[in-house]
Amino acid sequence: MNSHTEQIRAEARRLLESGEVSVVIGYAPGSTPARATPVFVRKPEDAERLFWSPACASNLALYVREQAARGKVAVVAKGCDARSIVTLIQEKQLRREDVHVIGVACSGVVDAGRLASAGVDEGKLKSLEAGGGALVADCGDGPAELQREAVLKRACLFCDTPVPPLWDVVVGEAAAPSPARDGVLPEDLDARREFWAEQFAKCVRCYACRQVCPACYCSECFTDRLPVGWVSKRIAGPENWMYHTTRAFHMAGRCVGCGECERVCPAGIPIQTLMRRMAEEVDGLFGYRAGMDPDAEPVLATYRDDDDGPAG
Amino acid sequence: MAANPYQPDLATVEEIIEETPDTRTFRAVFRDPELRESFTYEPGQFQEVSVFGVGEATFCLTSTPTRPGVVEFSVKQVGQVTTALHEMSPGDIVGIRGPFGNWFPYGEWKGKRLLFIGGGIGMAPLRSLLNFCLDNRADYGPIDLIYGARTPQDLCFRSEFDDWRSAPDTRVFLTVDRGDESWQGNVGFVPAYLMDLAPSPANTIAITCGPPVMIKYVLESLEKLNFAPEQIYTTLEMKMKCGIGKCGRCNIGEKFVCIDGPVFSYAQLKELPPEF
Amino acid sequence: MDRLLPKAALKDWLEWASARYHLLGPVESEDGSRAFAPLSQDRLPVLDNRRSCLPPKEAVLPSCETLFTFDPGDGEPRLLPAGGEFAPTLMLGMKPCDVRSLEVLDRVFLDGRFQDPYYAARRGSLVTVAYVCESKRWSCFCSSVGDPVEWSLAADVALTDVGDGYLASANTSAGEELLGCPAFREPSADDLARRDVVWNALREAAEPFDPEAVAAAVDWEEPAWDAVAEKCIGCGVCSFLCPTCTCFDIQDETIGGGRVERFRVRDTCQFCDFTKMGHGHNPRPSRRERVRQRISHKFKYIVRQCGICGCVGCGRCVELCPVNADLRGVLSEIVKENGCESISA
């Protein structure tokens, strides 16, 4: 058992024994060593169910808002997950004192859906560990290093916040980030339009991207407001386009780049590429990055006298 | 009915009767003259009524098949389609699919005493059966109707009360939750009035429909009055789309309300999971 | 009827078949996954054990289709049927679970008081060729839910890889016609023996369970409902990617000139407004009720309504669930709690 797991369990036990929190939201081992599943621990003896590995891909901030309504919660959070919590605090969906962040310094998590293409037989996987910045997997023939670019959640390759910006305790140390550039998007605008048309045509409107996003917490999404009819329920290119681009605008200045939307998409749409473009635009216009400072005001919900309008 | 059960038949709205501030009864006539003559259904069945461009909604047939040529359905304004219907005028076009669902097993009730217990717009499906039985009066024993609404203005089908009262061996007991200066009848909730009237269960079938809370207390009251679950019938509603058991939406446990219902006996209801 | 198709002759058979059928088969997508797509001499199928991401239900029940168009006319309103000619189609390379899923869909859409004419038209023009898997993925549990070999034999033709060729078993007259192509030859005793090896391996399951026993075990109240609902995010991945989930919504859309198109579109009981009524009442107001509905429907209600287990053990939901809720584990908990045999996980 790695020391991250030990520390998380110890912290969870301490918090539950003292009654400081009513639930610890963390990860439990999933169906294979490449997967983890969210777990809600309410009794100190159940802290044994918690663990940490590079399989811990989910953004658990998703559950914090609802659970915190019933009492203080603790949550295991990577850098991106903690940024989501910051966003929730900024948007007054959560009070700082209602969440105890068990931060984890992270070097990237695995997207199990990418393993097959990387030549890893998930069915034979015996273990998956991270050590010294390397990802090591054992498929029965002994440990072998995996190529990070091939198996990590794509968003992790662009990460520049391996250490949570908000924490009550933090576990582990992460290597200095060296975010890559997203080379997916064509430069030419016409080619770019064709690129997105092709991608959105694949969408099945399962809304996994929306449901998995901690920032998508509207009680009634614009897609469900049928009397108004912002976008019809039809599953077809134009409507899919409308859904994705509208959501991207709703996420501008709020998306923290955790990449869950892209990981869970069953159609393989590079949603993070779109979100990252929006984030770049917002940063360029307003010098603002989502989820870094709980005291900062949400950028697109705030008017300042020195807002010049479009960057000249 | 069309060979394609998803495709409606076109009908013209002939008349719209304002029953209450939020409820209107629509009388519609199929545009196809052959269908107008041949269309038939059973009391208790429902239709999917289309307002093209807005959508479809489920309405029980409130007319009786013994008076063919016109189909009637009553609409309470609660959502999109019902609002669109309320904005219609005579001469407007609707689509009608149906009849769908099962129906009141009136064939098993010959010679029996019938006790109708209705609340608000729940009277609509009961009216279909009531008029059907009155049109076949000799087939049934004494008929009693207990019908209530929030206020006298919320009672539907007021123009027919006298017809019902004057039918042989047929009594009408009205009640309202809140009366007004001119109200002469009983004041009180339907379940309480039912207990006051204390009908005997002997050779009787009770049929009830109304708001869920009313049905709940009526069923309890009927049991207290020693009605067996097999003697009590109601009609349920769930959100529906296809109306023909394909879209998977209206099930309660393993029963589809559009195929195995909407008419259920209380005995059958007791077997269903409590999800309605 | 059994015949052998040498692997090198697959192209020839497809060319011969293309004169009679529009061909669909699994091709490799950019990201390495499989998708059913039109085949041609430039686009041959990939016959292997990887399942397609989108299940074959798309071919008989498209995710979005027009039901009819309303035309107000000039005082003479009428409805224009959706039309569409459904050319005879051959779907090649369906896994045993894929083939079985069509059986489930047939019961839902063709049986009962009403037949779904849109489904019937597409299904009626479809001929199926199964490809029997040599091995299962870690997430597959077909042999826990039924007999995948028997499922393959419900296809018009079932192909098994026996080394240099595919052993083709025809199970219907349309299948026998397909094997009339000169590319086929008589199988040898060795070919048949190798096929049996593959078939026996496929049938193996650690702990087979009786779908009727699971149907009896699933209760209205189960701790599993709360346990799953807590982490379920309420998306449509499990339903939309499930080969046997078919719930749909019907909507109207104005398309200009007063005309209205009525279409139907995939929906899922997992969405929060699936059962929400016009006046606001929702009999399934929280995740708990909706999780219960999906699992009960798949393993209990369909068994009672149609006499067939709704799940084909394809494993898509297991691999694609964003939170790894793992249906197999949930079912194990339910049956163990009720004292039945557990399923392999």
Pick from A291, A217, A287: which is nearest to A257 by CA? Answer: A291
**Predicted complex ipTM:** 0.94
DSSP letters spanning C175-224: HHHHTTSTT-BPPPHHHHHHHHHHHHHHH--SS---HHHHHHH--SS-HH
How sure is the predictor about C344, in pLDDT bands with cuts at 50, 70 and 90?
A: very low
Q: So what's the pLDDT on residue C340?
A: 62
> Mean pLDDT over all residues of chain C?
92
Whether residue C137 lies within 8 A of chain A, CB to CB, comes out as: yes
**Angle made by CA atoms A255, A261, A264, in degrees to the nearest 5:** 160
Whether residue B64 lies within 8 A of chain C, CB to CB, comes out as: no
Q: So what's the pLDDT on residue C50?
A: 87
Q: How many CB atoms lie within 10 A of CB A144?
A: 11
Hey, what are C338's tokens? Answer: 């009720």
Best of C135, C271, C323, C344 to disrupt the A interface (most A CBs within 10 Å) is: C323
Q: Helices C96-110 and C117-124 sit at what angle, rounded to 10 degrees?
A: 140
- The dihedral sign for the CA sequence B186, B189, B192, B195: positive
Tens of pLDDT, residues A295-306: 999 998 888 877
Alpha helices in C49-188 (DSSP H): 57-60, 96-110, 117-124, 142-145, 148-152, 173-178
Whether residue C248 lies within 8 A of chain B, CB to CB, comes out as: yes
What residues contact B132, with CB distance under 8 A and at least 6 apart?
B43, B64, B65, B66, B106
Q: Which residue has the tokens 């992790």?
A: A156
DSSP letters spanning C163-183: SSEEEEEE-SHHHHHHTTSTT
CB-nearest partner of C114 from B5, B7, B56: B5
Q: Is the pLDDT of residue C14 over 50?
A: yes
Least confident of A47-56, A146-155, A169-178: A169-178
Mean pLDDT of B89-94: 97
Q: Between A and C, how many residue pairs show a Cβ–Cβ distance under 8 A?
A: 104
CB-nearest partner of C79 from B7, B80, B237: B7
Tens of pLDDT, residues B43-77: 999 999 999 999 999 999 999 999 999 999 999 99
Strand locations in chain A (E): 23-29, 36-41, 73-77, 99-104, 127-131, 134-138, 143-146, 169-171
DSSP run (H or E) holding A3: helix A3-18
Q: Tell me the nearest-neighbour CA distance from C214 into chain B, angstroms.
A: 15
- The dihedral sign for the CA sequence A208, A214, A216, A219: positive
A137-145 — which CB contacts under 8 Å span 24+ positions? A137/A33
How sure is the predictor about A312, in pLDDT bands with cuts at 50, 70 and 90?
A: very low
CB contact under 8 A, A235 and C265: yes
Tens of pLDDT, residues C241-300: 999 999 999 999 999 999 999 999 999 999 999 999 988 889 999 999 999 999 999 999
Hey, what are A198's tokens? Answer: 């092709």
In three-state secondary structure terms, B71 is strand
In three-state secondary structure terms, A174 is coil
Alpha helices in A91-156 (DSSP H): 148-151
Dihedral of the alpha carbons of C96, C97, C99, C102, in degrees to the nearest 10: 170
Q: Is the peptide bond before B68 cis (omega within 30 degrees of 0)?
A: no
Pick from A298, A291, A297, A266: which is nearest to A77 by CA? Answer: A291
CB contact under 8 A, C325 and A37: yes
Touching C: which chains, 3+ CB pairs < 8 A?
A, B
CB contact under 8 A, C323 and A122: no
- Maximum CA extent, chain B: 54
Which residues of chain C neighbour A112 with C-beta distances below 8 Å? 319
- Maximum CA extent, chain A: 63
Hey, what are B128's tokens? Answer: 């279909």
Q: Which residues of C195-224 are buried (b: 16+ CB within 10 A; e: fewer)?
A: beebbeebeebeebbebeebbebbeeebeb
CB contact under 8 A, C248 and B247: yes
Tens of pLDDT, residues A260-305: 999 999 999 999 999 999 999 999 988 999 999 999 999 988 888 7
Task: State how far the Cα of B145 lies from the Cα of B115, in Å rounded to an integer.
Answer: 6
Which residues of chain B neighbour C251 with C-beta distances below 8 Å? 55
Whether residue C16 lies within 8 A of chain B, CB to CB, comes out as: no
Q: So what's the pLDDT on residue A302?
A: 87
Hey, what are A254's tokens? Answer: 């709020």
Closest residue in A to C316 (Cα) is A266
Pick from B8, B38, B1, B3: which is nearest to B242 by CA? Answer: B8
Closest residue in A to C139 (Cα) is A123
Hey, what are C79's tokens? Answer: 């409805």
CB contact under 8 A, A268 and C63: no
Q: Helices C287-296 and C327-337 sit at what angle, rounded to 10 degrees?
A: 80
> Which positions 19-58 of C are in contact with B (Cβ < 8 Å)?
none
Pick from C179, C185, C186, C175: which is nearest to C16 by CA? Answer: C179
Whether residue C299 lies within 8 A of chain B, CB to CB, comes out as: no
> Which positions 106-145 of B are in contact with C (Cβ < 8 Å)?
none
Q: Tell me the nearest-neighbour CA distance from C154 into chain A, angstroms.
A: 29
Task: State how far the Cα of B192 lies from the Cα of B212, in Å rounded to an integer.
Answer: 15
Mean pLDDT of A20-37: 97
CB contact under 8 A, B53 and C260: yes
Task: State how far the Cα of A307 lies from the Cα of A300, in Å rounded to an integer.
Answer: 11
Pick from B242, B226, B225, B238: which is nearest to B264 by CA? Answer: B238
CB contact under 8 A, C283 and B238: yes
Q: So what's the pLDDT on residue A311?
A: 54
**Residues A107 and A133 sit within 8 Å (Cβ to Cβ):** yes
Task: Give how far Cα A303 sits from Cα of A88, A299, A307, Å.
Answer: 19, 8, 7
Which residues of chain B neighbour C79 with C-beta distances below 8 Å? 7-8, 10, 95
Which residues of chain A neighbour C139 with C-beta distances below 8 Å? 31
